[in-house]
Amino acid sequence: MYKNIIRPLLFQLDPEKVHHLTFNMVRFCSKIGLSGLFRGIYTINDSRLERNLFGLTFKNPIGLAAGFDKNAQLYNELSDFGFGFVEIGTLTPKPQEGNPKKRLFRLKDDQAIINRMGFNNLGVEEAVKNLRKSHRVLIGGNIGKNKLTPNNLAVKDYLICLEALFNDVDYFVVNVSSPNTPGLRELQDKEPLTALLKALKTENETLAKNRKTKERPILLKIAPDLTDAQLLDIIDIVEVTAIDGVIATNTTISRDNLKSAPSVVKENGGVSGKPLTKRSTEVIRFLSEKSNKAFPIIGVGGIHSPEDALEKLEAGADLIQLWTGFVYEGPSLIKRINKAILKKYNQ
Would you please indicate which residues are annotated as catalytic (active-site) residues? Answer: 178
> Widest CA span of the chain, in angstroms?
55
State how far Cα 167 lies from the chain centre: 20
8 Å CB contact between 105 and 158? no
Angstrom CA distances, 269 to 109, 117, 240, 294, stand at: 18, 8, 32, 32
CA distance 337 to 339: 5
In angstroms, how far is the first alpha carbon of the chain from the final one?
A: 30
CA angle 262, 265, 269 (to 5 degrees): 155
Q: What is the DSSP string of 48-59?
A: GG-EEETTEEES
DSSP SS3 for 102:
coil
Tally the C-alpha atoms within 13 A of residue 191's C-alpha that lie toward its C-beta.
2
HEC sequence for 156-214? HHHHHHHHHHCCCCCEEEEECCCCCCCCHHHHHCHHHHHHHHHHHHHHHHHHHHHCCCC
8 Å CB contact between 163 and 208? no
8 Å CB contact between 184 and 221? no
CA dihedral 242, 245, 251, 252 (to 10 degrees): 60
CA distance 250 to 248: 6
HEC sequence for 332-344? HHHHHHHHHHHHH
8 Å CB contact between 124 and 153? no
Peptide bond into 22 cis (omega under 30): no
